[in-house]
């Protein structure tokens, strides 16, 4: 989601999936030890970033600041500042609450996992104008670099802690049984054409329709954890609570 805008010093370390879970749980525990344990969603990401990590949060016009349209946030490591695009400000734009919270958690991920990679002064890059402020990271929706994958994984684990989400799933479903895409199709679940078109699923065979269907199912938990349906779908797929095709049974 973000774009690296400084030349790293040390090499980015490979991290296994469990490490993201552990790092996010550690941050949540550290916050809890100082400010009270978090036992139920939503995770207080604003307080974690500002109160515990001590980062200053601002809302900025990122397009005007950086000259590109898809910047969601930025992290100035040396200034201990997180900037979020003003279009994600949740009070003025309630529909952006999930995106805002994920962007903030993503920047917290950069702070915890990556700030040691960068020197005191950010180097000039072609993305930013000559007179632009140069943060160590900017969050762009078009980015898919490994360092941004790590920040996204951290954000997902922090906002949707594994055991907390499993408890919520059991409370919601009454069991730990997964939901299968095959079953949703078989029960005649339909997605409005306008929603499919909005997501670009206009071509025959486009699996965007499947994603939208799973995100529709994930909406109740997304609301509980105050994340986007897309973020919740991806997290539930990773925990194997939302699945695609059923494996054939030996007894069928």
Q: Inform me whether the pLDDT recorded for 199 exceeds 70.
A: no
Domain spans in the chain, listed from the N-terminal domain onward: 2-159, 163-243
Entry pTM: 0.83
Whole-number Å distance between alpha carbons of 138 and 73: 6
Taking the C-alpha atoms of residue 220 and residue 217, their distance in angstroms, rounded to an integer, is: 7
Count of beta carbons in the 10 Å neighbourhood of residue 217 = 19
How much is the average pLDDT of 117-132?
44
From CA 31, how far away is CA 44, in angstroms rounded?
Answer: 10
Mean pLDDT, all residues of the chain:
83
Select the more confidently predicted residue: 2 or 70: 70
Please calculate the CA angle 222-234-147 and round it to the nearest 5 degrees: 115
The dihedral region occupied by 61, where left means phi > 0, alpha psi between -120 and 50, and beta the remainder, is beta
Give how far Cα 243 sits from Cα of 173, 230, 246, Å. 15, 14, 8
Residues 233-241 have a mean pLDDT of: 96
pLDDT in tens, 148-188: 999 999 999 999 999 999 999 999 999 999 999 888 876 65
Region 88-100: mean pLDDT is 96
Say which residue, 237 or 186, is predicted with more confidence.
237
Taking only the tens place, the pLDDT of each residue in 55-92 is: 999 999 988 888 888 889 999 988 999 999 999 999 99
Contacts with 81 (C-beta within 8 Å, 6 or more apart), sequence order: 55, 56, 57, 58, 75, 135
């Amino acid at each position: 989601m973000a774009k690296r805008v400084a030349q790293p010093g040390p090499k980015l370390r490979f991290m296994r999936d469990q490490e993201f879970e552990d790092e996010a749980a550690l941050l949540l525990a550290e916050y809890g030890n100082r400010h009270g344990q978090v036992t139920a969603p939503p995770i207080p990401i604003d307080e974690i970033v500002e109160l515990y990590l001590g980062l200053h949060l601002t809302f900025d016009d990122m397009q005007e600041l950086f000259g590109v349209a898809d910047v969601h946030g930025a992290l100035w490591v040396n200034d201990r500042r997180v900037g979020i695009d003003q279009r994600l400000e949740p009070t003025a734009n309630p529909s952006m609450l999930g995106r805002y919270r994920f962007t903030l958690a993503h920047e917290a991920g950069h702070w915890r996992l990556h700030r040691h990679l960068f020197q005191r002064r950010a180097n000039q890059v072609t993305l930013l104008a000559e007179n632009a402020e140069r943060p160590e990271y900017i969050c762009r929706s078009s980015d898919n670099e490994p360092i941004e994958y790590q920040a996204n994984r951290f954000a997902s684990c922090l906002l949707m802690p594994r055991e907390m989400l499993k408890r919520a799933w059991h409370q919601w479903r009454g069991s730990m049984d997964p939901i299968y895409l095959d079953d949703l199709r078989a029960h005649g679940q339909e997605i409005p054409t306008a929603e499919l078109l909005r997501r670009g699923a206009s071509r025959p065979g486009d699996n965007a329709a499947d994603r939208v269907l799973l995100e529709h199912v994930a909406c109740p938990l997304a609301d509980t954890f105050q994340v986007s349906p897309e973020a919740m779908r991806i997290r539930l797929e990773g925990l194997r609570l939302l699945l695609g095709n059923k494996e054939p049974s030996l007894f069928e």
